[in-house]
Amino acid sequence: MHHSVFNKVFIIALCMSLSFGCTFAADTTTDTTTDTTKIETKAATPEEMNVKEGLEYGKMFGILDGSVDGRAHQETGIDTGYHKSMPGDLTISTKYNLLNEDLFYRLNFIQAYKDYYEISYNSAYRSANLSQKAVPVGNAYNNGLQAGAVEGEAAAMRDFYQNRFTNWQRALEEFLISGSLNVRYALDGEASDYGLSFRTGFNQGFFTSYTEAFQQVKLDAAIRNRTSKLVTAKRSILFFDDVLIDFNGGSSSSNTESPVMIDIPDAAVYTPTYLSLYKDTNINLQNIDLEVVSSKYIVEVDNTAKSLYLNKPLRLIFEFYGSEDAGIYKLENNKWFYQITNFTDKAIYTDIPIGNFSRGEYMILIDPENSAFTDMGFNWAKNEINALKRRGYLEDESPFRPTHFITRLEMAKMLYNVYGNGTTDTIAWNYSIKDDPISSDDMKYMNYVLERGYMKLGADGKFNPNDTVTYKEVESIMSSILAIDFKWKDIASKMLLEKYKRSRGTESLLRPIFRDEFAYVLYLYDDLK
């Protein structure tokens, strides 16, 4: 302490005696931003240079040593303060070889060294101390932001492909239900401030990424969604290409698949016409007991008439691997109707039939309650009969007895199930049926066909439920139901052409009709009701 005061007094006196002022020796608060490695040589005399360089080099090494000691003491837990760790004059002189230096140089070096050692020591100690607090949480927000962005994008893809409305908060809640952030990212092992900052960043990253990804995938799907092809008399295939997004290790990749296609055979269409195939997210699933397997796809004719006559069936093919309880369904009158579905190793398909076609909505559904009749074997109409069963028109009775003649009561029941919509609200119970006994359900079926004029009572007032029904009677019944001139010969020709089955009705319309034949008729005209 006494040496320091003496040194300052001595330097001031010496400076005054040399008549160059105390600028260098007294002012030891030189701007710390000055480049300490650069030595200016503007001093007028050797004495001035000794003072100037002593101050500059002392400052430079004081900053260096103070910074090293201050950080080291903080990191090792030594709390001594700069005054206990600052080296003495002799130590400084020895370390930096000052004993053989000019006196002015040595004294100014030591003074500047000590002043800047104190400043640098305190600054380094404080900086290291705060770093220990800041570093553990410094990257927490950005880490959370990054993790949230990955999960937000993945959640957006899931919601989009599941045809759900955008809702990042619902998606985040579902994500957290399956596993908390603490568990997923081991936040319990971090400082509490880190966890808080991480969660804040995660929520922000999830929100931003989910919103942007959902908007982008929706836009991309809309742009590429509609696939149109000019179909002519030459065979062609209309593909619908879909882009799927995969996630692996925090990164995403895409691949293109063709989940559905239409095979258009030669001569199916004569007039060149655009046919469109696209995906629709509005499923409108009324059959709530059915499981959704695919997206809904719309097949649509793109011409001024919005319709097209098909000379041959078009084959609608879905890529599919799975249960034979699945089937292709078509939306009719806000209800999904099973279409006759055939299976291959990697696909299922149905045919869009011959005739006028304008538009159809199709998708794959699984009926978990599906079961087939046990006595169908190789019956020519087994597909149509099973289709009626899967549409809910035929009860789960086994066997079906396809080659038996259909009775009047059985026909009344089938007509009620197909055309009566399963309700009794509009049935007028005005008929006194003299058959005995008659169950309430049988009475319902009989009254339905009688009230609508499809069938009549006998002269004796009896319905005669066990009597058979002729082809001629079927012509009258179906003409009344369909409001067309129904002729059995048209059905018989179709059976022979498409099913290689000759109908006995071609021999005589007075013969009784078989159960499989009448089920075939109901299937053919079901879409027209």
Q: What confidence score (pLDDT) does residue 42 get? A: 61
The predicted structure's pLDDT at residue 435:
65
pLDDT digits (tens, 9 = 90+) for 30-64: 444 444 444 454 667 888 898 999 899 999 998 99
Alpha carbon 314 to its chain centroid, in Å, reads 31
Mean of pLDDT values over 496-507: 95
Least confident of 96-105, 173-182, 336-345, 433-442: 433-442
Q: How does strand 251-264 pair with strand 342-343?
A: unpaired
At 19, the pLDDT band (50, 70, 90 cuts) reads very low
- Tokens encoding 393: 């028109």
The pLDDT value recorded for residue 26 is 39
pLDDT in tens, 98-131: 888 998 899 999 999 999 998 998 888 888 777 7
Which residue type, as a one-letter code, is found at position 267?
A: A
* Amino acid identity for residue 459 in this structure: A
> What is the band of 347 on the pLDDT scale with cuts at 50, 70, 90?
very high
Tell me, what's the pLDDT at 426? 55
pLDDT at 20 over 70: no
The percent of residues above 70 in pLDDT, for the chain, comes to 84
For 364-421, write each residue's pLDDT tens digit: 999 888 888 888 889 999 999 999 999 989 987 778 999 999 999 999 999 999 998 7
pLDDT higher than 80, residue 177: yes
Q: Which residue has the higher pLDDT, 60 or 23?
A: 60
Residue 195 — very low, low, confident or very high, per pLDDT cuts 50/70/90? confident
Least confident of 54-63, 80-89, 193-202: 80-89
Domain ranges of the chain: 2-137, 140-223, 227-366, 382-528
- Is residue 390 within 8 A of residue 371, CB to CB? The reply is no
Whether 141 shows a pLDDT value over 70: the answer reads yes
Identify the CA nearest to 212 among candidates 269, 152, 140.
152
Q: Yes or no: is domain 227-366 CATH 3.60.110.10?
A: no
pLDDT value, residue 25: 39
pLDDT number for residue 276 = 93
Share the mean pLDDT of the chain.
84
pLDDT at 430: 57
The token duo for 450 is 């009688």
pLDDT at 169 over 90: yes
Strand partners, 359: 300
The 10s digit of each residue's pLDDT in 87-100 is 999 999 989 998 88
Is the model more confident about 336 or about 436?
A: 336
CA 86, CA 120: separation in Å to the nearest integer? 11
pLDDT over threshold 90, residue 471: yes
Q: What is the mean pLDDT of residues 201-214?
A: 94
pLDDT of residue 43: 60
The residue with greater pLDDT, 450 or 247, is 450
What integer is the mean pLDDT of 219-246? 84
**What is the average per-residue pLDDT within 54-81?**
85
Q: Per-residue pLDDT for 450 more than 60?
A: yes
Contacts 24+ apart (CB under 8 A), 68-71: 68/124, 69/117, 69/121, 69/124, 70/120, 70/121, 70/122, 70/123, 70/124, 70/125, 70/128, 71/124, 71/125, 71/127, 71/128
Give dist(CA 468, CA 444) in Å, integer: 19
